[in-house]
Structure 1
Amino acid sequence: MPKINAATVAEHRAQQRAALIQAAVDVLVEQGAAAVTPAAVGARAGLARSSFYQYFPSAAALLAAIVEEAFTAADTATARALTDVHEPAAQVDAFVRAELHLAARGAHRPAKALMQADLPPECLARVHELHRQHYAPLGEAITAMTGATSALTGQLVGGTVQAAMAAVEQGGDPDRVADRVLALLHHGLTPATDE
């Protein structure tokens, strides 16, 4: 029986699965989705290639797990930030600050790499669906602030938030970047006259 490095077999399996996912994220971000193979991920995680198949039936299944876990973690962080925040402008603030702190931790790296990868259509569709779901609370707050029902305002705010995330990923302080981007957004998010 292989040696386990945890109190229980279940904990050991969870640790091994997490190690494979982290190794796959690193390979994905550094080399792209095509490089996420059982051999490369197993080697990166320090596991035999055959061990990979005890946790995932294929590289595609591993990519799907990365997608789901990345968005679940981001959704949890933004939901926590929005707990007991009911005023739309405060919701925008809380969402943006949570996103920029996630960016500072590198939490968006897997989703960003996957959105740029040459993935099967169903996998790419799932990434886009999860992305839309993740940004839904921000869109709802924007609509409540502006009365705008068109997607244009949401797209413009989303682009601004993406630029702020890029600034943080390049070393910007997330709080300082948040202060600046929120000043811009609050100045621009006024009741819509016509979109």
Structure 2
Amino acid sequence: MAKSSLHSDVRTHILQTAQPIISGKGYSAVGLNEILQASGVPKGSFYHYFGSKDAFGQALLEHYFEHYQLDLDALLQPPAMPAGHRLMQYWTRWLELEVNGDCKGRCLAVKLAAEVSDLSEAMRAVLQRGTQQIIARLAGCISEGLEDHSLPPLRLGHPELTATTLYQLWLGASLRSKITRNREPADAAMTATRRLLGLEPCPR
């Protein structure tokens, strides 16, 4: 195996090993020794793959969003299903993860957003880019839903505004779920999502 390929494989292995650990404990609470021990990489090797813990955190978030975007594209792009249905699959999957407590290793943006945005400008910038890309994909799916009539005219008027509002709603619901340790915030987010998308009437 070529040296550059081996370097990439070990680096990826460290990131994949670290993601569930940091998703569970947070960024600041996890030391480099714990990550290296879990990944089976010698202690002195870390700085061969990452220049600093800040650079490691940036790489971790970039790795997370890269794979998140691929999963999101696979979910939102299949042309055989109406766009409105594809969009609701995304929120339904988010709800299931919250209800089943199966977010470990997957909800890194939720876990780290508040913690690292004040600690690292580089990590904050990755979070900003990554979440904006998610919102842009959601907005695109909403626009498709309006075109294929699987979504009614939007209550908020614009796909971008609707996508931003919904994504922020679910981020808040995920944080609230951590506080309450129950499914009520996620259920409320789903109800609000359906109403904002015009998929059920607002109560009178």
Decide: shared fold, TM above 0.5.
Answer: yes
Partner of 1:134: 134
User: How far is the alpha carbon of 1:49 from its aligned partner?
Assistant: 1.8
Residues 133-161 of structure 1 show CA distances to partners (whole Å, capped at 9, x for unaligned) of 11222233445443412866445422554
Shift of 1:58: 1.5
Which residue is equivalent to 1:110?
108
TM-score of the superposed pair, with normalisation by structure 2? 0.64
Which secondary structure state, in structure 2, belongs to the residue aligned with residue 34 of structure 1? coil
Whether 1:58 aligns to 2:52 is: yes
Distance in 2, Cα, partners of 1:115 & 1:182:
22
Partner Cα distance (1:109, 1:55) in 2: 24
Cα shift readout 1:44-65 (whole Å, capped 9, x = no counterpart):
3232221112222221121111
The aligned counterpart of 1:17 is: 11
Shift in CA distance, 83/60, structure 1 to aligned 2, threshold 3 Å:
same
Name the stretch that deviates more: 71-80 or 148-157. 148-157
The residue number in structure 2 matching 1:3 is: none
Q: Distance in 2 between matches of 1:184 and 1:95?
A: 15
Distance 2:8 2:52 in 1: 18
What SS does the aligned partner of 1:117 have?
helix
Q: Which residue of 1 aligns with 2:166?
A: 157
Alignment of 1:165-180 (within 5 A): none
| Aligned residue pair count | 178
**Aligned to 1:91, which of 86, 94, 101?**
86
Structure 2: distance between partners of 1:66 and 1:94: 26
Mapped partners of 2:164, 2:90: distance in 1: 15
Contact 1:78/1:99 (<8 A) preserved: no
SS in structure 2 at match of 1:33: coil
| Deviation, structure 1 residue 84 | 2.9
Gaps spanning 5+ residues in structure 2: where? Answer: 200-204
Q: Which amino acid aligns with 2:38?
A: R
TM-score, length of structure 1 as denominator length: 0.67
- The Cα shift of 1:187 comes to 4.2
Residue number in structure 2 paired with 1:122: 122
User: Which of these residues, 181, 187, 198, is aligned with residue 190 of structure 1?
Assistant: 198
Aligned residue identity for 2:86 = Q
Q: How far does residue 67 in structure 1 lie from its aligned partner after superposition?
A: 0.7
